[in-house]
Amino acid sequence: MKIHSILLVTLISLASASSWAANIKVSVKGETLAFEPATFSVKAGEQVTLTFVNASKSMQHNLVITKPGMADKVTADSISAGADKNWTSVGPEVLFKIKMVDPTKTEVLKFDAPKEKGDYPFLCTFPGHGQVMRGKMQIK
């Protein structure tokens, strides 16, 4: 009887863990200034593993997730931050970031999704990219 109880608790624990973990893949769409997909959804507070693939063969890109409504500020602040800071703002508006990734390379970022529902912009902060290379993380 004890073995069955232990097995049942273990199975419930494994099922619970897998139900709150999201594996997301975002790629650069070839040589364009676009993410693919441009939108993804996760649950509030969910553990997220984000795999970022720079599919470009010629350009560096990064992926920076900001607080809602902060993409323009992060874009401007990132240019001011300069190459020494990897073209990435370090202000409180930046929630999560993946460093500049060389062409054809991949980086992985693990984080807990915000607990507040809403739309959280993500963007590439390399100079000239941030105004157009954007996406949205939807927290449900």
Q: Which of 30, 90, 27, 32 is nearest to 63 (CA)?
A: 27
Residue 28 lies in a domain: yes
Chain Cα centroid distance, residue 89: 15
User: Containing domain of residue 44, as a range?
Assistant: 19-139
Q: Where residue 84 sits, what CATH number does that domain have?
A: 2.60.40.420
Domain assignment present for 73: yes
pLDDT digit of tens for each residue in the chain (140 aa)? Answer: 555 444 444 444 444 444 468 999 999 999 999 999 999 999 999 999 999 999 999 999 999 999 999 999 999 999 999 999 999 998 999 999 999 999 999 999 999 999 999 999 999 999 999 999 999 999 99
List beta partners, residue 89.
Answer: none
